[in-house]
A and B are shown apart, each in its own frame.
Chain A
Amino acid sequence: QKEVEQNSGPLSVPEGAIASLNCTYSDRGSQSFFWYRQYSGKSPELIMFIYSNGDKEDGRFTAQLNKASQYVSLLIRDSQPSDSATYLCAVTLALQKLVFGTGTRLLVSP
């Protein structure tokens, strides 16, 4: 079992819709959870982080964490074509090394 699992996609949504990206992790000791966006040929860009159970909202992005189910999700409201990218879920123990999933490719069609 991989430490961090994501569906590779692609996840296709029309412009203006809500995109829902999911991630599960295996280590119950994981403390911090991150979503990075990566455009093709570019480096990962931090878009959200969450440490506690529940929801955290920032603009069009909402991160959701359920530690009991070992599940993290990212919702993108009012999706735009510019949101088309690969979204990487990452977890850490004690804010040290990041352990990444393989990423979910999101395609937003105009």
Chain B
Amino acid sequence: DTGVSQNPRHKITKRGQNVTFRCDPISEHNRLYWYRQTLGQGPEFLTYFQNEAQLEKSRLLSDRFSAERPKGSFSTLEIQRTEQGDSAMYLCASSLRNQPQHFGDGTRLSIL
């Protein structure tokens, strides 16, 4: 499978715990994006990287959220001190610089 890979597929955690998600983009893609989607809504942009540089962050990305792409390959998204409102599908997408984005299967986060 050469598509975008996200792990884990599902994460259930208690409020207040920290969680980390991983995204492996399509191998030659230099851009990597994170989005969040809640039921009945379209995906909302969180942040994106070009290679290892984080170029834009949404105001949705509070101080509890941090994303990294240390070597310009895979990326991690960490949420600290999770809250009920963090329950959502977290989607990763990748692209070449001037090409459309392709999404992974997502990580569904449920906060108990």
State the A residues within 8 Å of B (CB).
Answer: 4, 8, 32, 34, 36, 42-46, 49, 88, 90, 95-103
A100–B91 CA distance with the chains assembled, in angstroms = 13
Q: Is the CB of A43 within 8 A of B105?
A: yes
Q: Are A98 and B101 in contact (CB under 8 A)?
A: yes
Please give, as numbers and ranges, the residues of chain A lying within 8 Å of B55 by CB-CB distance.
96
Query: B interface, how many residues as a size bin?
Result: 20 to 34
Most chain A CB within 10 A, of B41, B42, B56, B89, is at B42
- How far in angstroms is the closest Cβ of chain B from A60? 19
Say yes or no: A46-B100 contact (C-beta < 8 A), given A97-B45, A97-B56: yes
List the count of A-B residue pairs having beta carbons below 8 Å apart: 52
- The complex places the Cα of A98 from the Cα of B103 at a distance, in Å, of 12
The answer for the CA separation of A103 and B42 in the assembled complex, in Å, is: 6
Q: Are A45 and B48 in contact (CB under 8 A)?
A: no
Assess whether A97 is in contact with B33, with CB atoms less than 8 Å apart: yes
CB contacts (< 8 Å) of B102 on chain A: these are 46
Indicate whether A99 sits within 8 Å of B45 (C-beta atoms), given known contacts A43-B103, A45-B103, A46-B100.
Answer: yes
Known contacts A96-B55, A102-B41, then 14 further A-B pairs from the complex at CB < 8 Å, ordered by chain A residue? A43-B89, A43-B103, A44-B91, A44-B103, A46-B100, A46-B101, A46-B102, A90-B42, A95-B98, A95-B100, A98-B35, A100-B42, A100-B43, A102-B40
